[in-house]
Amino acid sequence: MLKNYPFSAVIFDLDGVITQTALVHSAAWKKMFDEFLLNWSKKNETEFQEFEHNQDYLPYIDGKPRYQGVESFLKSRNIELPYGDPSDSPEMETICGLGNRKNLTFNEVLEKEGVKVYQSTIDLIYELRKNGIHIGVASSSKNCKPVLERAGILNLFETIVDGTVSAELGLKGKPFPDIFITACKNLNVSPNKAVVVEDAVSGVEAGKNGNFGFVLGVARENNHRELLIHGADRVVSDLEELGGIKGMMDWFTNGLSTDNNSLIYYDLVPEKEKQRETLLTVGNGYFATRGSMEETLASICHYPATYMAGVYNRLVSKVAGRDVENEDFVNCINWLPVTFKISQGEWFDLDKAEIIEIQRELDFRSGIMKRKLTVKFEGKTTRIESERFVSMHQRNIAAQKYTIKPIDYDDEITIKAGLDIDLINDGVDRYRSLNQKHILPLEEKVESNSGYLVGCTTQSNIRIACTYILDANKEGSWQPLVYKGKVFSLFTACIRSNEEVTLTKRIVLNNSLSNDDPLTLVLVEGKNLKSYEDLRELSEVAWRNIWTRVDIELEGDRLAQKIFRLHLFHLFVTASPHNASLDAGIPARGLHGEAYRGHIFWDELFILPLYNLSFPEISRSALMYRYRRLPAAREYARAHGYRGAMFPWQSGSSGREETQVVHLNPVSGEWGDDYSSIQRHVSLAIAYNIWEYYHSTLDQQFLKDYGAEFFLDICMFWTGLCHKDAEDGRYHIRGVMGPDEFHEKYPNAKRGGLDDNAYSNLMTVWALQKAYQMRNIIGEECFRNVARKIGLNEQEWQRWKNIRQNLALCINEEGIIAQFDGYFELKELDWEYFKKKYGNVYRMDRLLKAEGLSPDEFKVAKQADVLMIFYNLLPEEVNRLLQEMGYDLPKDYLKKNFWYYLNRTSHGSTLSRVVHAKLAHLVGEEKLAWQLFREALISDYIDIQGGTTAEGIHAGVMAGTVWLALTVYAGLSLCEDIPSFQPDLPYDWEAMKFNFIFRGIRYYVEIDRQKIVLTAGAPHNIEVKAKVWGKEYILLPGIAKTIEI
């Protein structure tokens, strides 16, 4: 009886994997290109440069379709030839002609020498076939079948997808995964259940891009590292090393799980380092430390920084003759510094060393970042291993371990480790001309293997204190080293080749926001610190406890699985259970960088609903951050002549508006108005989060003590903006911006703002409806107390009802809701012109300005605006709002509005794809929904916006994509009093497992294509209900309920 394996098919490349023809190909390419290049150099009077195997064949030709290889190589030499046609004769100097010329040479060698196979590959194929595993070949070569026939092994393969098939079907060549996916389709096997075996860089890239279950690299060219860098999960020199089918089994049972829970980099790419440092950040909500390497200083490639929740500082900078004040998220300290020197040599400099091997791995499960590094520096080879973590168990503790192992020398080694607080904010290029010295050193001290630093922010007067304790695993001498704002301990020991010396550093970090005397606290806690191993174990346990409540387990899509965990990890680095006792909001860019100056925006609308499902106390804390700044919001409203609470677009330490009201045009050198601050809808996002928190938790006490007060005060602000027009009898809201930041004002207008922004008006009506429900929830006595506090009388209350029923929208005859009054009069944009000229049109506003135009003139949006209402609310609820407002729209109005606005949106914000993915799903455009969702999902992972991830994560997108997985694809809805499900798993997702808490009850959910299994973790005396596809079911506590779908 055949064993049930976790994979069903193995797809082999041909050349270099099955047959020993890769070198034959290389020789044929060399012969053809050398002849061509010699003639070309004579004709063009240029120097002849021969075709080389390592420099030319491997990077430009290997693994690619023939004509694509020719084109790739010629481009590397800046040679332009016409493409020609596959029927071109070998004598023609076209891309196809040269490819055909090479093929003649290859066939001549093949005919003369025959075909040799790799016996270890053939042995593995026989073993796989014997165990019922399907076997296929996917090759770029058009000679695939003849080669297999000559080798006498054609009968071993159930499907062959080669260059000929690719040409017939129009398949893209490697690194696109088309040929491998086609082979899987022919075998009726999903890619996640298939193995790709490849020897070419482009081939393993194709396997990775196809999201295959296992990508196995065969390093025939001593290119282990290159194959790992480009996507191989494991690399062997020959398939004999794999250990047969057991080796493949080991990946699926062990290796895949590790990969799904980690982020790994096998190279150092200078231009990508800052983005990777962001994604390798470790933290615990109280503070977080970027994933910079221990030996690096701030530079064009590296930016070590640690940020602490709520630590801001204001500075004034002189810009173009004007004083500009900004509040920034402070780079508080660098606690990572560790480096070494050999004997009396220079201190190790990573940027000057030859990197032989590097591997960095962030383990999401444990919160530990590890690094393995082999370098040659000053002629000597050294192996370095390090790891670090910020404790999730105790919020003000972090630790690191640093191990050095000489490979080819015996010598004296000195390790330098310590702290640095003499820093500037330097993480965002466009802020670089501003005053960035936010922290000044106050005190420093070192005693042999320990020391401390104290610094203070220059304006906010926040004191930051940190102490460190070092321990070494062998005898040696300690020496202190102190500079202003920097403290180090130097450890010196003699060490032999292949012997290891390990240093551990434990730190305690605190600030005066959370303790009046942070230095005393860190010194006392430093004396009582547990060992490195104990601290690590406690932190790992704390992380495990988080993962038991937030994890999403996915089968069938390893990329989505990895990125869900990446997103969840960084969300809890940004805000964790520790935040329940902190006065801090959730920065839009996390605790990971200085973009947006660490401020809090409306992005919490995308973030807090997710925390409601796992740790509602974190949501409550973020709301309390807003509540404590309610006086500032009231003052902000009064200063602009409004009532109620007007929360700022950008919020930092005090709750005042941190958005600049003027900006400098770098081209003209002139100052102009900046209208960003009139995005008043941020207050509606806060109101939405108040309601969602209550609805998910039924925390009436929060509502009575805090929530109702600032919810109703926000309503007071918005109703104050409403003015009744005597002509149409409707109320209008003027002079605000919606979520689309491309439209700040009307064309040629001298004041900012737009009238009757549909999103703002609809959310205002929604808030007023919820205000009536809230009155009933908190009771009359509490309501009267709140009303008295905010100045709400009964006459005003009745006016609110009138506004609900008569607030204006602009809607055309087809049922398209205008983004704002006057939108339909704007000009249409020639999208094709801009796409052809610029390619990337995400920031269409900048492209228009470069052409001397303004986005205010055109029907173009940065992100969802009208459609945003359908992200917040179910279509049924939006319909009720419209009905109460007196509008009757066609049945298909949602679909019409979706296409109307999608076709006019550039997706200049990463949040845009999140919203449009949900809308596409709502209107039944599943393929488009999946495409938009996928783009949003990988946006930080691949830095889709070209450099922005280096400045911090996009927390709203990270939360929003996880939220979509739960609400769109698992079909979870919490809009009623009980959870309901309408599962709709994407094609690649075979099963999904997660849990969540709703109104004090934890639900455990398992979904596959046939069924949903629900379990309620509730006391036995509570009746628990849930809906699946509209039908209500009773769940017995602790007993799984299986429902066929």
- Over residues 90-109, the pLDDT tens digits come to 889 999 999 888 888 777 77
DSSP at 230: T
Secondary structure class of 195 (helix, strand, coil): strand
User: Rounded CA gap, 916 and 563, in Å?
Assistant: 20
Question: What per-residue confidence (pLDDT) applies to 698?
Answer: 98
The tokens for 135 are: 């076997």
Query: Which residue is listed with tokens 């506590």?
Result: 1037
285 backbone φψ class: left, alpha, beta (φ>0; ψ -120 to 50): left
pLDDT, greater one: 845 or 365: 365
DSSP at 198: E
The tokens for 468 are: 């460190």
Query: Which residue is listed with tokens 């390090």?
Result: 386
Question: What per-residue confidence (pLDDT) applies to 1039?
Answer: 93
Question: What per-residue confidence (pLDDT) applies to 1?
Answer: 44
Answer whether CATH 2.60.420.10 is correct for domain 970-1045. yes
User: Rounded CA gap, 245 and 124, in Å?
Assistant: 7
- Using a pLDDT cut of 70, give the percent of the chain over it: 99
Cα-trace Rg, the chain: 31
Q: Is the pLDDT of residue 387 over 60?
A: yes
Interhelix angle 532-550/558-574, nearest 10 degrees: 120
**Residues 761-780, mean pLDDT to the nearest whole number:** 98
User: Rounded CA gap, 50 and 37, in Å?
Assistant: 7
Work out the pLDDT band at 662, boundaries 50, 70, 90: confident
Q: Is the pLDDT of residue 939 over 80?
A: yes
* CB atoms near residue 987 (< 10 Å): 11
Q: Give the CATH number of domain 270-316+328-547.
A: 2.70.98.40
**Residues 176-203, mean pLDDT to the nearest whole number:** 97
Secondary structure class of 121 (helix, strand, coil): helix
Question: In whole numbers, what is the pLDDT of the chain averaged over residues?
Answer: 95
pLDDT tens per residue, range 240-293? 999 999 999 999 999 999 999 999 999 999 999 999 999 999 999 999 999 999
1027 Cβ neighbours under 8 A, 6+ residues apart: 976, 978, 979, 980, 981, 1033
CB of 934 within 8 A of CB of 914? no
β-partners of residue 135 are 10
Q: Is the pLDDT of residue 194 over 60?
A: yes
The tokens for 579 are: 């935040």
Q: Is the pLDDT of residue 630 over 60?
A: yes
849 backbone φψ class: left, alpha, beta (φ>0; ψ -120 to 50): alpha
Buried b (16+ CB within 10 A) or exposed e, 570-585: bbbbbbbbbbbebebb
Catalytic residues: 741
Looking at residue 899, its amino acid is: W
Work out the pLDDT band at 338, boundaries 50, 70, 90: very high
* CB atoms near residue 4 (< 10 Å): 7
- Using a pLDDT cut of 90, give the percent of the chain over it: 88
Question: What per-residue confidence (pLDDT) applies to 850?
Answer: 84
User: Rounded CA gap, 1017 and 995, in Å?
Assistant: 10
Looking at residue 184, its amino acid is: C
DSSP at 274: H
CB of 449 within 8 A of CB of 471? yes
Question: What per-residue confidence (pLDDT) applies to 946?
Answer: 83
306 backbone φψ class: left, alpha, beta (φ>0; ψ -120 to 50): beta
Q: Is the pLDDT of residue 575 over 90?
A: yes
Spelled out in words, what is the top-level CATH class assigned to the domain 9-19+116-260? alpha beta
Question: What per-residue confidence (pLDDT) applies to 87?
Answer: 87
